[in-house]
Each structure stands twice: as C-alpha cells, then as structure tokens.
Chain A
Amino acid sequence: MTPRLEEIWVYLSATPLLGLTLTLLAYQAAFRIYQRAGFHPIANPVLLAVTMLASVLLLTGTPYQTYFDGAQFVHFLLGPATVALAIPLYAQWPRLKAMAAPLAIALVAGSLTAALSAWGIGALLGASRESLMSLAPKSVTTPIAMAVAERLGGLPSLTAVLVISTGILGAIGARYLYRWLHISDPAVRGFAIGLASHGIGTARAFQTGEQAGAFAALAMGLNGLVTALSLPWIMPWVERLLGR
C-alpha cells in the first residue's frame, strides 16, 4: 500500500461515512439479487446483506464497533419505522376487530410455543444456560428480546443475533410451511409469520401484500407484549420443574 492509500484508509475508517455507505450498498446489491430471484424467500435481503458486510469486516479486520458508528444511522430508523406500523394496522382495523377472539387464542398458543420449544430443544441438545436464556425470547422484536434475555440471565447481544436469525429463518421458511398446511388466507399467513419472526417476518409479509403485512405487524407487537410480561416469571418456573 502506498502512503497515500494508507492515509485515505485512516480517514475512511475514522468517519461514519464508510459504515453507512457500505450498509446501503450491500442492501441495494442484496435487494437487486432478491428482485432478480423473483422475490424468492431464500434470497432473503437481510441474510445476503449481512453475509456481505460480515465478510468485509472479517477480511479487512475492521472492528464491529467501527462499522456500527456509521451504520447506527440506519439502525436508528427502526424506532420511527416501528411507530409507522400503526398506519397499516389502522387500515386493517375492521378485520382485526372481527377476528379478535381467534387472534388472542392463536397469540397465546404461538407465543408459548415459540419460547418453550426453543428452550426445550436447546436444553435437550446441551446448550449452555446463558445460551438457553438468550434463546427463549428469540421470536420477538430485538429491543424487547434483549431486555427479556437480560432479566432471565442471558446475553442481550447474543439474543440480538439469535433474534435476527429467527427472523431470517421464518421469512425463508414460512411459504413452504403454508403450502404444506394449505393455508392461503393472507391474514393467517401474516399473523403467524409476524408472531414467530417479528420485524423481518413482517417485512417479508409486506412484500407479499398489505393485509398480510398489517396482521404481521399486529402479531409482532402483541407477541412482544405477551413475551415481555410472561417469560420473566414462566422461565424460572420451567427451569425448576424440568430440573436444569
């Protein structure tokens, strides 16, 4: 490397410009691939962009914190985007109201399944207690999951990674499960993917239609609420009962 290039690198690695630009470039490349693939769920744009960015960080030896100093501007928009989910929710209000009781029952069943099956399978396969407690809230949106994991004795930042993996897995797999189960109602499809795969599932649901997106947003919000309120007292009880 010539001294000049080195100087440029020192400059670039010290400003937020590089991390931010790389994030947007990687996402656009990922989204183009997703489009070319006819919005096939396996070409998930979050998965593709994360793979590209993680490779760049590992190959150049750039610390995650340096990258995040720039990428945080994108990360910040998660807040207003979550608030904005109120708008599609409002648009679907008449149908939501009509389905209130079935939605409430499906919510409790799905929420317990998501947390307890993750804990149980992880425990059977010998994951550590820290990992299990980081795993239990994996189906809810990142900020809630991190807060719940911390209260349970898990690692909040590991939870963030598990939450995003769950989102990607649900966004990829849901279509095949629905085909297998013969489920075609966009409201049911949206609600299940939003419950199991929070915002990333919701993003996928919006790409298939506004009704699915709105039900996904509703499920994401409600499951966050149920999980935040129930797991902190359910998990200690489950641990005592099943003796770990």
Chain B
Amino acid sequence: MIAALTLLLVFQLIGEVIARALALPIPGPVIGMALLFLTLLVRGGPDEDLRQTAGSLLQHLSLLFVPAGTGIVLYGDRLANEWLPLLVALVASTALAIIVTAVVLQALTRRRASSKGAQQ
C-alpha cells in the first residue's frame, strides 16, 4: 500500500511541476492521471498493490469532497440574494448536460453498432 501511495504521489508531483513549469490551465493531478495512464499502456497493467490501493481510494471518493462542500457556510449572503437564479441554472443546466451527452453518445454508438451489423 505504501509503495502504491508513493507512486500516486510521485505522479501527482510530476503533474504539478509540469502544470506550473508550462503555465498550463490544467491541474497537476489531471496531468498526473494522464501520465500514469500512458505509463500503464506502455509498461502493462497495474500490479495487485496499486489496483487495491486505487480501489480503496476511489471507493470512498465522495468523502474527499466533503471539506470543500462545507465551504457553503461562507456564502450565506450571496445565496440568500441570488438563490433562485443559481438554483434553477444549476438544476436545469446539469440535467441538460446529462441529457445532451447521453442522447448524442447513445445515438452515435447505436448507429455504429447497426451499420456494423448490416455489413455482416
């Protein structure tokens, strides 16, 4: 577990350094994820230790958002003044984003599957 955690932190560190050195708008951990993914593609899949450590971190991914979410206590005033537009915009736009993405992807993958079926 310690070896796997160290590996994850090393990739995050490399990602942070690249993001800062090249002044990229992408956060370090996302670059670290991409680099680790490429490493796995080149060197073969993760070992058991890495798989288990990643599994236990991701199983409780929700926990990690709790501290930032509690920051809502700082915005009492703004939320009291603008709660209606903010709430409607969040609800409607989140639903629209899910619908558009899912419908487009479903239509494209289905069409591909059926054209493949027709060729056979």
Residues of A within 8 A of B (CB): 23-24, 26-27, 31, 44-46, 49-50, 53-54, 57-58, 64, 67-68, 71-72, 74-75, 77-91, 93, 99, 101-103, 105-107, 109-110, 113-114, 117-119, 121-122, 125-128, 131, 135, 138-139, 141-144, 147-148, 151, 157-158, 160-162, 164-170, 173-174, 177-178, 181, 183, 185, 187-189, 191-193, 195-197, 199-200, 202-204, 206, 213, 219, 221, 224-225, 228-229, 232
Residue from the list A67, A138, A196 in contact with B70, Cβ < 8 A: A67
B88 contacts the other chain (CB 8 A):
yes
Interface residues of B in 48-95 (CB under 8 A from A): 50-51, 53-55, 57-75, 78, 82, 84-86, 88-95
* Complex Cα–Cα for A144 and B85 (A): 23
Among A58, A82, A204, the one with the most B-chain Cβ atoms within 10 Å of its Cβ is: A82
Q: Judging by beta carbons under 8 Å apart, are B54 and A84 in contact?
A: yes
* Complex Cα–Cα for A31 and B32 (A): 29
Listed A/B pairs (23) with beta-carbon separation below 8 Å: A23-B63, A46-B66, A77-B57, A78-B29, A79-B32, A83-B8, A83-B36, A93-B41, A113-B96, A114-B93, A118-B90, A122-B89, A125-B89, A131-B78, A138-B94, A160-B68, A169-B91, A183-B102, A183-B103, A199-B61, A221-B33, A224-B27, A232-B25
Main secondary structure of the interface of B (DSSP, over half): helix
* Complex Cα–Cα for A171 and B108 (A): 24
Residues of B within 8 A of A (CB): 5, 8-9, 11-12, 15, 25-30, 32-34, 36-37, 40-41, 45-46, 50-51, 53-55, 57-75, 78, 82, 84-86, 88-106, 108-109, 112
Residue from the list A80, A142, A191 in contact with B101, Cβ < 8 A: A191
Residue from the list A23, A118, A188 in contact with B67, Cβ < 8 A: A23
Nearest Cβ on chain B to A121's Cβ, whole angstroms: 4
With A169-B90, A177-B98 as known contacts, state yes or no: A80 contacts B5, CB within 8 Å: yes
* Complex Cα–Cα for A211 and B66 (A): 25
Main secondary structure of the interface of A (DSSP, over half): helix
Residue from the list B27, B40, B99 in contact with A86, Cβ < 8 A: B40
With A191-B105, A225-B26 as known contacts, state yes or no: A162 contacts B67, CB within 8 Å: no
Across the interface, which residues of B come within 8 angstroms of A143, CB to CB? 27, 29
